[in-house]
């Protein structure tokens, strides 16, 4: 068997053996492939959504796009607030943009979590503390989203017709199912020794990290301020699209509908909530008093702006960050 001569500095390979593609190069191309697959699967939704954009009032669409861009800034603030170490600002912001694309290509939360976990470890934060920071971020985001929803529901009790969202007699079974899942998780934790030890160690690390972060006012402000700004900006984007398409629902009621829909689909493991978020948003906007046809148009246009337009550049950014070893 003869040898194949490679460029200077590289070892020779036996003739006939395939050259292996570097893993990092494969990872750079993978996001683009996933974007293509997702786009092909949802091509009818894309076509209809772009059709609605052509009939909308452009100033409001620009406002929705601006609110979407600001969500990445809010996410960057929150991520920085979750760790004591100072993270490089430009790379942190680029990572949030790329994490948004990853979040729409993988089951909800996993893509962004993996990207940010890798980014923090590359920046020198130990894996245990990076995981604790990720958990703190998720906790802050969940608390502020639920708190904002409750405040708005108290301020505008008639914003949603809850009977359209929750069928009669469904509350009891839902609560029982939630209690059953919680009990099963608790029993599993108590019975499996290794799992109990691992969870206990993680909780101790997370509590230490939370105390360290809240001992610094700037970090605490970034954590909670960014967590609050993130859903506010998302809801503002939906309200702007609703104004662009003349949805006859007050903007604050649209914000309530958005928060209620996103909370409802938080446990649905679909990539970026694609499919489930659209359905929940349409139902919530109808429950807020919007016509079905206009509500559907608003949701499709909103998801085009917030998901589909940033998806390709976000995937390209993700591939570049992998290639440059930022993540």
Q: Mean of the per-residue pLDDT values for the chain?
A: 83
Residue 162: pLDDT band by 50, 70, 90 thresholds? low
Tokens of 282: 């349409």
Shortest CA distance to 103 belongs to which of 230, 227, 236, 274?
A: 274
Shortest CA distance to 46 belongs to which of 311, 280, 316, 323?
A: 311
Alpha-carbon distance values, 246 to 32, 56, 61, 253 (Å): 35, 8, 12, 14
Whether the Cβ atoms of residue 321 and residue 327 lie closer than 8 Å to each other: yes
CA distance 51 to 35: 21
Least reliable range by pLDDT among 36-40, 274-278, 307-311 = 36-40
Residue 37: pLDDT band by 50, 70, 90 thresholds? confident
Residue with tokens 């050259």: 19
Least reliable range by pLDDT among 26-40, 85-99, 195-209, 253-267 = 26-40
Task: Report angle CA 306, 107, 206 to the nearest 5 degrees.
Answer: 100
Classify the phi-psi angles of 2: left when phi > 0, otherwise alpha if psi is within -120 to 50, otherwise beta.
Answer: beta
CA distance 226 to 219: 10
Q: Per-residue pLDDT for 53 more than 90?
A: no
The domain spans of the chain are 43-164+189-323
Strand partners, 4: 13
Residue range 168-183, pLDDT digits in tens: 454 456 556 656 666 7
pLDDT at 19: 52
CA distance 282 to 249: 13
Q: Kindly give the pairing relationship between strand 13-14 and strand 3-4.
A: antiparallel
Radius of gyration of the chain (CA): 23
User: With a threshold of 0.75, does the pTM exceed it?
Assistant: yes
């Amino acid at each position: 068997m003869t040898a194949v001569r490679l460029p200077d500095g590289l070892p020779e390979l036996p003739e006939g053996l395939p050259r292996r593609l570097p893993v990092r190069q494969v990872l750079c191309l993978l996001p683009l492939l996933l974007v293509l697959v997702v786009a092909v699967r949802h091509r009818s939704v894309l076509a209809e959504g772009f059709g609605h954009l052509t009939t909308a009032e452009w100033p409001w669409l620009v406002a929705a796009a601006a609110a979407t861009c600001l969500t990445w800034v809010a996410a960057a603030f929150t991520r920085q607030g979750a760790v004591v170490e100072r993270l490089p600002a430009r790379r942190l912001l680029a990572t949030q943009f790329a994490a948004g694309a990853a979040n729409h290509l993988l089951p909800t939360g996993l893509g962004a979590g993996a990207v940010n976990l890798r980014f923090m470890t590359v920046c020198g934060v130990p894996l245990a503390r990076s995981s604790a920071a990720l958990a703190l971020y998720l906790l802050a985001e969940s608390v502020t989203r639920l708190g904002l929803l409750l405040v708005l529901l108290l301020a505008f009790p008639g914003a949603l017709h809850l009977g359209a969202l929750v069928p009669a007699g469904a509350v009891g079974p839902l609560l029982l199912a939630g209690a059953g899942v919680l009990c099963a998780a608790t029993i599993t934790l108590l019975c499996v020794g290794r799992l109990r030890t691992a969870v206990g160690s993680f909780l101790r690390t997370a509590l230490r990290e939370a105390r360290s972060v809240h001992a610094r006012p700037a970090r605490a402000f970034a954590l909670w301020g960014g967590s609050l700004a993130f859903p506010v900006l998302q809801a503002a984007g939906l309200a702007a699209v609703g104004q662009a398409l003349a949805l006859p629902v007050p903007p604050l009621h649209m914000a309530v509908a958005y928060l209620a829909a996103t909370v409802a689909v938080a446990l649905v493991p679909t990539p970026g909530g694609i499919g489930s978020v659209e359905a929940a948003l349409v139902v919530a906007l109808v429950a807020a008093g919007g016509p079905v046809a206009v509500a559907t148009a608003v949701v499709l246009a909103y998801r085009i702006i917030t998901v589909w337009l940033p998806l390709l550049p976000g995937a390209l950014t993700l591939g570049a960050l992998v290639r440059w070893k930022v993540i």
